[in-house]
Amino acid sequence: MANVVVVGSQWGDEGKGKIVDWLSERADVVVRFQGGHNAGHTLVIDGVKFKLSALPSGVVRGRLSIIGNGVVLDPWALMAEIETLRGQGVEVTPQVVRIAENVPLILPLHRNLDQAREAAAGKGKIGTTGRGIGPAYEDKVGRRAIRAGDLATPQVLSEKVDKLLFHHNALLRGMGMPEVDGAGLLAELAEMAPRLLPYVEATWKTLDEARRNGQRILYEGAQGTMLDIDHGTYPFVTSSNVVAGQAAAGSGQGPGAVDYVLGITKAYTTRVGSGPFPSELFDATGQRLGERGNEFGTVTGRARRCGWFDAVLVRQAVKVNGINGIALTKLDVLDGMDELKICVGYRIGDETYDYLPACSIKQAQVQPVYETMQGWSESTEGARTWNDLPATAIKYIRHIEELIGAPVALLSTSPEREDTILVQDPFED
């Protein structure tokens, strides 16, 4: 049985929550391998909405749900999310949720620093969620992070807090901000320790045992490829690697742990926050996509920028991730449009490109080259077989497959889990 990695092939918000939920019923273990609670997934089950930010989506289905070492974790946000789910009738216990002992923690000082930097940046802001993800990753690579397992050893924790604050308080003094009180931070961590530690273990061992026992593992990515710290529209990116290769490193498994890469791909394109967006629409069509697609961020509530499908970006994501197949989502949002456009190339001055250059100046200058296709008047919402789809919708899908160099493995036609057309089961690859 294959182990599957789910990644976003655009700028996130592609509908990963529903697809991961759909796949989690076939999985034994679901793993988050990067990011923080800045990435939200919305699941709709029997008409009930579940909004997840820190927890793997499998938790709603009672699957073993692991927060891997590649994540940065805000323990206060996690506990609040657990309580919300319990209020919705979901059982969340240490038997269901496991946290890597070496996962770095997001602390209140990270949130404050994140927000202060964004405010100071003005028009040059990145567009972060202000939840401390970037500063927490900085401390991780700076070798001064507080990790989940540290909460079990108060003496070590005190020494690490001193080292952390030596760095942070110098930054705060330079920004004219109040310094962090070490005793106060230690008290907060001491209060959190008995709540968090029951979930903490060496999750790489748990995953290794699951693999050896032939269990199906679903690696759940957050954000999207174009927000990857290396391969995205830098500097308007997140602070971690979000591509499929991170699934192994971010969970403590070797690269052989991954058998199939599924790229979640929206039938048009959206983006939250600042940064280049070649196919963005500023007219009534863009507004219509946003309204019909309910394009508001799960975490922030911010309206998403909307545009035509960008085949150049998705083709690049297919290659960078090694995507075997895509799950095409929100096709129904395009219902009733007379014509559709697909970005098939870029132009910068007199030059043409079949990829997005890494240079931020060039990215800002990109002009899209479009192909125009006929739309369809019939509804695709709720379709569960190819026979339920209009011929022109199928033609649109087939052309996307040709342009991006990857087949459609799943097709989503509404937020409901059952409204999914299965072409190829990734777990049976």
Closest listed residue to residue 219, CA positions, set 113, 413, 65: 65
Backbone angles phi, psi at 269, to 5 degrees: -130, 140
Sorted by sequence, the CB contacts under 8 Å of residue 97 that are 6+ apart come out as 55, 56, 59, 65, 66, 67, 82, 199
Query: Measuring CA to CA, how many Å separate 377 from each of 75, 77, 151, 307?
Result: 48, 44, 58, 20
What six digits make up the tokens of 388?
A: 């339920």
The alpha carbon of 378 is separated from its chain's Cα centroid by a whole number of angstroms, namely 32
- Peptide bond before residue 198 is cis, with ω within 30 degrees of 0: no
Q: Which residues of 188-223 are buried (b: 16+ CB within 10 A; e: fewer)?
A: ebeebbeebbebbbebbebbeebbeeeebbbbbbbb
- The catalytic site residues sit at 13, 41
List residues bridging with 374 in a β-sheet: 339
Longest dimension (CA), the chain: 67
Dihedral angle, C-alpha 422, 286, 395, 354, nearest 10 °: -100
Closest listed residue to residue 233, CA positions, set 203, 269, 190: 269
Cβ-contact 229, 239 below 8 angstroms: yes
By DSSP bridging, strand 420-422 and strand 408-412 are: antiparallel
Cβ-contact 393, 376 below 8 angstroms: yes
Secondary structure element (H or E) that encloses residue 340, with its range: strand 339-348
Sorted by sequence, the CB contacts under 8 Å of residue 296 that are 6+ apart come out as 302, 303, 304
Residue 196, SS3 per DSSP: helix
